[in-house]
């Protein structure tokens, strides 16, 4: 068995005796990916600042969307067009009939009663709100 220090480290379970300082300092991120992503983000943000760049990008998006739409349209299976079946009833419909006088008065009474109750509710809510507002303003003026 050779008397090698690296071989002794592997046998004793310390295969990597000194840690990589570069990985710890950068937080474990690789250098090439970070450099590429930062330059691509910077270049794309600079490209999007100009109006012509944004316009060209919009034209490309619309053109590629139309190409994708045409491609998807050709992929769908060809189905024959079937006519829709509509059921028709030939029954006579009753014409409009005027409501009776009692029904008119009953409906008018219900609507009037509902309007009075709703108005009273709104008046109470507004009264409480004005009371709170006046008490608040009065308290500020006293202080």
pLDDT tens, position by position, 64-107: 999 888 888 777 666 667 777 888 888 888 888 888 999 999 99
User: Is the torsion defined by CA of 108, 109, 115, 119 positive or negative?
Assistant: positive
Q: Own/partner pairs for 51-59, CB < 8 Å, 24+ apart?
A: none
Q: What is the pTM of this model?
A: 0.32
Phi, psi of 88 (to 5 degrees): -120, 125
- Over residues 110-120, the pLDDT tens digits come to 999 999 999 99
Top mean-pLDDT range of 53-62, 113-122, 126-135: 113-122
Task: Report domain extents, the chain.
Answer: 107-143
- How far, in Å, CA of 10 to CA of 12, rounded? 5
């Amino acid at each position: 068995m050779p008397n090698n220090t690296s071989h002794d480290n592997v046998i004793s379970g310390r295969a990597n005796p000194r840690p990589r300082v570069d990985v710890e300092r950068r937080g474990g991120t690789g250098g090439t990916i970070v450099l590429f992503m930062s330059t691509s983000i910077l270049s794309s943000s600079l490209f999007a600042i100009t109006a012509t760049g944004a316009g060209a990008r919009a034209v490309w998006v619309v053109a590629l969307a139309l190409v994708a739409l045409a491609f998807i349209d050709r992929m769908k299976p060809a189905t024959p067009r079937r006519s829709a079946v509509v059921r028709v009833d030939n029954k006579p419909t009753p014409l409009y009939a005027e409501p009776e006088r009692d029904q008119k008065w009953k409906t008018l009474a219900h609507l009037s009663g509902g309007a009075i109750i709703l108005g009273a509710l709104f008046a109470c809510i507004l009264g409480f709100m004005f009371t709170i507002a006046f008490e608040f303003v009065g308290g500020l003026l006293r202080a």
